Structure 1
Amino acid sequence: MMRVLIVEDEPTIARAHHSYVERVPGLAPVAVAHTGRAAVDAVAKAARAGTPIDLVLMDIGLPDMSGLEVAAALTRIRPRPDVIAITSARDLEVVRAAVAHGVVLYLLKPFTFAAFRDKLERYLEFRSALPADSAGVSQQDIDRAFGALRTPDTRIPTPKGIAPQTLEEITRVLRAAADGLSAGDAGRAIGVSRVTAWRYLERLADDGVVKRQTDYGRTGRPQVRYVWGRV
């Protein structure tokens, strides 16, 4: 089992990522850090204890330091963990800096569980393609390992009727609503129909990052509200 550290400053999202990792065979979420300093300390402590972290799921926008600064600090710890960036940062310079700091994969928020699982499965393929010992690797080993990471994402096309930009807008307004939103509320907030909003909210609920709550109101007619958070 690969030991995974989740680094995310927003507790609700951290719990969702923890739940996601639990659903991927071969990976075990062993700790959560909400700041960059806590992340470095957790990796160093695990290494000293002889139970090193294999993989860090790194948010870039942390409150005390950049996730890229954390990634750079982790290169000085042995054994060094791999890093997958999980972020909404789309700036080209950030992406280039992530590569320069040894980030092996880059996953943009928001995403479905299928996309998350695909990235982690690619990472597991990458690790399994490399020899277990440190005697050395062949060109074939290297090509096979990096091929697992870089192969075009043909296995998980965007689900029919799901547009990434709309999914991001739905996610944004839902996260800002402490008491959750109905499909009608969400649709009005971003300028789409109730049915369209409902489809995206159901997708998020099926992926486990949104909770469904049934309100009966004064008339007794049930209305489903969607609340951001771990199911």
Structure 2
Amino acid sequence: MIRVLVVDDQPVVAEGHSLYVRRVPGFEVVGVELDGRSAVERCAIGGVDLVLLDLDMPGMHGLEVARALQTMPDGPDIMVLTATRDVPSMRGAVRSGALHYVIKPFSFATLRAKLLHYASFVAATTGEREVLDQGEIDAALAALRDPAGPQLAKGMSKETMVAVRAAVRSAAGGLSASRVAEIIGASRVTARRYLEHLADTGGCERVPVYGRTGRPELTYRMRMLPAPDA
């Protein structure tokens, strides 16, 4: 049984994550902590294999928690669950030992997939022994990853989604479905379907453009990061 500590400063969110974990075979929740310092103290006691860690918490930021856990002998593994979307935070989490970086909000299916991949990694790396060859190492690391990526709706292709993401990312001010269709060489209906999927899953945001007759035209752009505190 893999023992999980849930760390999130919002009690309702922490409880929701705990309920998800309890639904996955082979995992048990051994505690819930609402701040970083308490999480570090709980892990120092032992009996925790995996920490589901929020980043933006008052007092002790999640990256500080992750670095503290990395200094513990036989410390727990870390999976970041956060609403923080900026690339520096993602890179910081990876450098601090995070095995996964999951954007909130997410579905049960998403967390379940990450946990099961983690369980496969644990199974492949258990025991004090030498690995046979590079292939065994590669297979163990691959167990952490989902080669298919997030689930797409029926009839949607990963290649087209990659193209749509690249198109939206290329224009900071946003693009209409018609313009994206031109860029990727698809119909407007197809482009709009992929853009709506991206918007629904948090990959981009819808921005209405006013000033013309009739209904405002929707454009799609990468989500804007909040301005840093002054």
Query: Same fold by TM-score, threshold 0.5 exceeded?
Result: yes
**1: CA distance, partners of 2:31 / 2:197:** 33
SS in 2 for 1:13: helix
1:39 — aligned with what? Answer: 39
2:55 — aligned with what? Answer: 60
TM-score (structure 1 length as normaliser): 0.65
RMSD of aligned alpha carbons: 2.1
Q: What amino acid sits opposite 1:97 in the alignment?
A: G
Q: CA deviation at 1:151?
A: 3.6
Q: CA deviation at 1:101?
A: 0.5
1:80 — aligned with what? Answer: 75
User: How many correspondences in the alignment?
Assistant: 163
Q: State the percentage of identical aligned residues.
A: 41
Q: Which has the higher contact order (CA 8 A, sep 6+)?
A: 1
Higher Cα radius of gyration? 2
1:136 — aligned with what? Answer: 130
2:182 maps to 1:148: no
2:110 maps to 1:109: no
Deviations for 1:93-134, whole angstroms, at most 9, x for unmatched residues?
11111111110011111111111111111111111111x322
TM-score (structure 2 length as normaliser): 0.66
SS in 1 for 2:100: strand
Q: Which residue of the other structure, out of 66, 70, 78, is the alignment partner of 2:65?
A: 70
2:121 — aligned with what? Answer: 126
Structure 2 CA distance for partners of 1:76 and 1:70, relative to 1, 3 Å: same
Residues 169-180 of structure 1 correspond to what in structure 2 (within 5 A)?
Answer: none
1:30 — aligned with what? Answer: 30
SS in 1 for 2:71: coil
Gap regions ≥5 residues in structure 2:
155-192, 204-230
Structure 2 CA distance for partners of 1:167 and 1:143, relative to 1, 3 Å: closer
Deviations for 1:65-108, whole angstroms, at most 9, x for unmatched residues?
11111010001212111000001111111111111111001111
1:3 — aligned with what? Answer: 3
1:163 — aligned with what? Answer: 197
Q: CA deviation at 1:167?
A: 5.3
Deviations for 1:20-71, whole angstroms, at most 9, x for unmatched residues?
00000011011001000000000011x2xxxx21000000111111111101
Q: CA deviation at 1:152?
A: 2.2
Deviations for 1:122-160, whole angstroms, at most 9, x for unmatched residues?
111111111x32233232332111111234235x51446
**2: CA distance, partners of 1:159 / 1:15:** 29
**2: CA distance, partners of 1:103 / 1:28:** 20
Q: CA deviation at 1:168?
A: 5.2
Structure 2 CA distance for partners of 1:107 and 1:97, relative to 1, 3 Å: same
Structure 2 CA distance for partners of 1:164 and 1:32, relative to 1, 3 Å: farther
SS in 2 for 1:104: strand
Q: What amino acid sits opposite 1:93 in the alignment?
A: P
**1: CA distance, partners of 2:34 / 2:74:** 22
SS in 2 for 1:29: strand
